Chain A
Amino acid sequence: MSATVTERAGGGARGVVGTRMLRREDPALLSGEAQFVHDLSVPGALHLSVVRSPHAHARVLEVDLSAARECPGVVAAFSGRDLLGEWAAPMPCAWPVTADMQTPTHYPVALDEACYVGDAVAVVLAESAAQAQDAAASVSVSYEVLPAAVDLADAASDRVLAHDASETNRAYIWELAPDAAAVERAFAEAAVTVSERYVQQRLIPAAMEPRGVCVVPQPFGGDFTVYSSTQIPHILRTMLGITAGVPEGRLRVVAPSVGGGFGSKLNVYAEELLCLALARRMRRPVRWTEERSEAAQATIQGRGQIQQIELAADAEGHVQAVRVHLVADMGAYLQLVTPGIPILGAFLYHGVYDVPAYSFTCTGVFTNKTPTDAYRGAGRPEATYAIERAMDALARRIGVDPAEVRRRNFIAKDKFPYASSGGLLFDSGDYDAALAGALELADYEGLRAEQAQRRAQGSAKLLGIGLSSYVEMCGLAPSRVLASLNYAAGGWEAATVRMLPTGKVQVVSGSSPHGQGHETSWSMIVADKLGVSPEDVDVLHSDTAVSPFGLDTYGSRSLSVGGTAIAMAADRVVDKARLLAAHRLEVAPEDLDLEAGTFSVRGTPSRAVALGELAFAAFTAHDLPDGMEPNLEAQATYDPENFTFPFGTHVAVVEIDSDTGRVDLVRYVAVDDCGNQVNPLIVEGQVHGGIAQGVAQAMWEEAAYDEAGNILTTSFADYLVPAASELPSFTLGHTVTPSPSNPLGVKGIGEAGTIASTPAVVNAVVDALAHLGVHSMEMPVTPERVWRAVDAARRTPTGGTS
């Protein structure tokens, strides 16, 4: 069985790729020396404070700024109307998923109508952050409170409209039904059907560093440097230019150290636009740092869906069709990629299973709540959750073990590349091996035996075992596919590799890390290509002046797309160096071997020249072959031909206190396959964090709103992000099935843990309770929910329904 913790996976014979190199990023982060936006010292900066609507839906009748303007330190205060002239366009949504999508006009500061608690209605600029906040408290806004569309199902009925002037809350209906008739037929002929409804609660991304922006006007010429805690400096630059009407070339966007994003910093936010427009207007630097409670309102939220999934199967549980209807909560406005998030999952609701007929429909619906957008996994965790819970429901229905039902339906190993009924080409996979590995690591047989024993003894500690087999599509994204989905940009990535005269190497990356360890991984890839030490490779990124082209970091794309670009650029440097070496050694290029950074003549190894010497020669340019340009530098832009499809199986084991409903996650096993691993230590780190975040959705986290649309979970005392104390030690295993989609053979791993773990945990909870007649369970699985479910089942001795 190949599912063991791999010390070396997919590395070259002697290289560093595949080794557990420590992350070079960590010393600065751990010692506190890393500089985040808030740490930047910018003399003369004005501090922005945003006055936010306390109502979920209200007409803004009057904004009285007179008292605020009199406050100490205040330099200016503006309403939405005052700033209207600053905008060349409303805030951007880059993903109009349908031609007729409804897009409410969205300005950084609302004009006449506030559409969620937290919608900006005025801004104050003062000499200090404290003065700005004091003054913000004296801005007086009169509102006419309007009915609010808060509950998603209710909003979908159009009973209350989220935008006063609109006729419906529907943003769009998006359909994927390659063969609708086949789906109908499968359901008509099915021996067994399963129909389940699940709710994906809203989540607060809760990055360790809240957002922050600082915009510094440069002397003369109208240039601005924008420091932002963002995942997307390149996309942000373009969008800021379009929205604020600044020629793009005048903007330099820098993302200094960024303390996590999880998708929430893959966006263009009001405060980024405000700092830019106000710096332009005031001719002074303007800065803003988000507060934790403010983030609960002002930063996008994740998930927010009602899912209806139906399976049609034969009597043995072979699934013949999957039909899905989603209602997706957009929130009050469409942020950068809001409408596309559910669509990123649209192709995956049949999961790892060989399902011949498939249809999917999503209705995007506006509510008077904070906009939703990308959050770790973005669409794919929701899809995996629905299919994996439904497969357990199917297993219960036909009375077979959940592992067995999965085995019966897996896409077989020999079917790859696999053309899915949703229209994708799954690159490579061996789902059985991952399941087998996970079951073995978990001692599945032993767990089932213990469970049976506890049930026989009537133990108050209920044991539940949950499985989740997943596949995801990542490595966003082939530009042509994005075009077919009507996304406004491409999905390529750019890289430059240059050797400096001293033989040191600089790598410039267009992807923009915020905790993933790009610098370490990129240095390893280049070190192996060039035969140098990783310490001699510097990695530059996250500054549009340094890396003019890039499409940034999200969707587990950095390694499979950005890393590939880097490998390609390194290969080009080697190619050029080889020509130079051949010239100097007076042999044909094909007769040279490159090893450990030295070209030597095949058969005569004493005739050799080191890459470092070649770099210096290329720099002096005294003796280059005719036509060769000086310097060893190469640029590459890689546009993937396909997504990559990581997969695996996770096993969660829970223990439930039947008196209180308390759920303890006691064991967790994950076997993931992300193809070749550049650095298994980083892979494990991503899996650990991903699991924690997915388990958090299952058990703790929910952005809770009251009926009036006030968010209730605005601090970490109420929004429960788990800590190490809540989680068991994870048991990790891996299989390695290289991806044929890229030359590195890699797949993404940044989101896999989050995608797989949520259904594993909820399946385990239902598994623990199923014998009592409990089959449905909503997230988060709070002790109260479990207690109520058990209590209700006890009151109906015949057992509950599913």
Chain B
Amino acid sequence: MIPAKFEYRRAGSVDEAIGWLREDPDDAKLLAGGHSLLPLMKLRLATPGVLVDVGRIDGLSYVRDAGDHVAIGALTRHRDLETSEVARAHAPLLARVAAQIGDPQVRHRGTIGGSLAHGDPASDLPAAALAYGATFVAQGPNGTRQIPADEFFLGFLETALQPDEMLTEIRVPKSGGASAFQKFNRRAQDWAIVGVAAVLDGTPRVALVNMGPTPVRARAVEEALASGASAVDAAAHAADGLEPPSDVHASSEYRRHLATVLVRRALEEASAARG
């Protein structure tokens, strides 16, 4: 529970943070809410030499109506997302998902940027971002670039971010209410054993939590829906092509089964919300 030795630096701006990342690309890590990174450090599963604290950079915590999309600052805490009027009106799935992350302490510390950048397949917000077809804004030494959510999650805890890049904003196309989130866990504060985020505005998009090495879209379900399948029939394809993990909480086989049940429920809930 005592992390290995590290140097702590508090960044006053994104540029300063990126500058430090650049100096030490192999050994420096950004620290936002700390609720994914610090547990790993305490178990000495992560041993960064330099910790660059971006948690106090001004101006990166917001949920704004930006016309055709909602813009969310990377340092926005889960709790602020959960209670944001803008999110509730135009990206309601995100607000609902944020409300089910961990417990109140976690939600008051953890940030959306940290949750996405961590790239944990068991996390909830990445699936919601995939289901919304969000775009991520990353800033690096050479300026900013935009990364579509579909191209962001590359492998287990691995994203398209470069070691000297920082996620600054998440852009979510505005959406009505036709969405649903199904989270299956054994205790209220736990990570999902399996989770499903479904958005039925326009082309149906369905994304899954904890069904493989990355947050992942349920492509087979989406295709079935596109060709007119019912919720029940489409849901039967929930685990097609996926190899979910086996761990102390559930076997791979059970996760595959759960995915079909939860996708069906999510689709039914989302279409009920569409009215």
Contact = CB atoms under 8 A, between A and B. Distances in A.
Interface string A687-720: 0000000000000100010000000110101101
A309 B186 CA distance: 31
Nearest to B265: A659
Interface in B174-225: 184, 186-191
Contact of B2 (A133, A700, A704, A723): A133
Contacts of A718: 248-249
B187 A700 contact: yes
A613 to B, nearest CB: 55
A700 B188 CA distance: 13
B273 interface: no
A704 B251 CA distance: 14
A293 interface: yes
Contacts of A291: 1
A784 B187 contact: no
Contacts of A134: 4-5
Contact of B191 (A129, A660, A717): A717
A704 B4 CA distance: 28
B186 A659 contact: no
B2 A725 contact: no
Nearest to A718: B248
A125 to B, nearest CB: 15
B187 A787 contact: no
Given A129-B2, A725-B189, A787 B248 contact: no
A726 B188 contact: yes
Contact of A725 (B4, B44, B188, B191): B188
A713 B187 CA distance: 15
Contacts of A409: none
A628 interface: no
A704 B262 CA distance: 27
Interface string B230-263: 0000000000000000001111001001100110
Contacts of B249: 718, 782
B154 interface: no
B43 interface: yes
A137 B43 CA distance: 12
B188 A660 contact: no
Contact of A784 (B1, B191, B254): B254
A291 B44 CA distance: 13
Interface string A778-798: 000011100110000000000
A784 B4 contact: no
Contact of A712 (B2, B44, B248, B251): B248
Contact of A720 (B5, B187, B250, B254): B187
A130 interface: yes
Contacts of A292: 1
B interface bracket (residues with beta carbon within 8 Å of A) = 20 to 34
B186 A700 contact: yes
A726 B43 CA distance: 27
B248 A660 contact: no
Contacts of A133: 2
Nearest to A724: B188
Nearest to A663: B186
B186 A782 contact: yes
B100 to A, nearest CB: 12
Interface string B1-40: 1101100000000000000000000000000000000000
Nearest to A661: B254
Nearest to A725: B188
Contact of A704 (B44, B188, B248): B248
A717 B1 CA distance: 15
A660 B258 CA distance: 6
A722 interface: yes
Contact of B187 (A293, A659, A660, A725): A725
A667 interface: no
A360 to B, nearest CB: 33
A713 B249 CA distance: 10
A662 interface: yes
A11 to B, nearest CB: 39
A723 B186 CA distance: 11
Nearest to A292: B1
A72 to B, nearest CB: 10
B254 A723 contact: no
Contacts of A715: 43
Given A129-B2, A292-B1, A293-B43, A660 B184 contact: yes
A541 B10 CA distance: 48
Contact of A293 (B1, B186, B190): B1
A715 B189 CA distance: 14
A571 B58 CA distance: 69
A160 B187 CA distance: 37
Nearest to A133: B2
Interface in A98-132: 129-130
A603 to B, nearest CB: 66
B1 A787 contact: no
A130 B189 CA distance: 30
A787 B257 contact: yes
A525 B39 CA distance: 47
A722 B187 contact: yes
Contacts of B262: 660
B190 A720 contact: yes
A726 B190 CA distance: 11
Contacts of A720: 186-187, 190
Given A784-B254, A787-B257, A723 B187 contact: yes
Interface in A275-325: 291-293
Contacts of A723: 187-189
Contacts of B188: 723, 725-726
Nearest to B184: A660
A784 B193 CA distance: 11
A292 B190 CA distance: 18
15 contacts: A130-B2, A133-B2, A137-B44, A293-B43, A660-B262, A700-B187, A713-B248, A715-B43, A717-B191, A718-B249, A720-B186, A722-B187, A784-B251, A784-B254, A787-B254
Interface of A: 129-130, 133-134, 137, 291-293, 659-660, 662, 700, 704, 712-713, 715, 717-718, 720, 722-723, 725-726, 782-784, 787-788
Given A718-B248, A783-B250, 14 more contacts: A133-B2, A291-B1, A293-B43, A660-B258, A660-B261, A660-B262, A700-B186, A717-B190, A717-B191, A718-B249, A725-B188, A782-B186, A782-B249, A784-B251
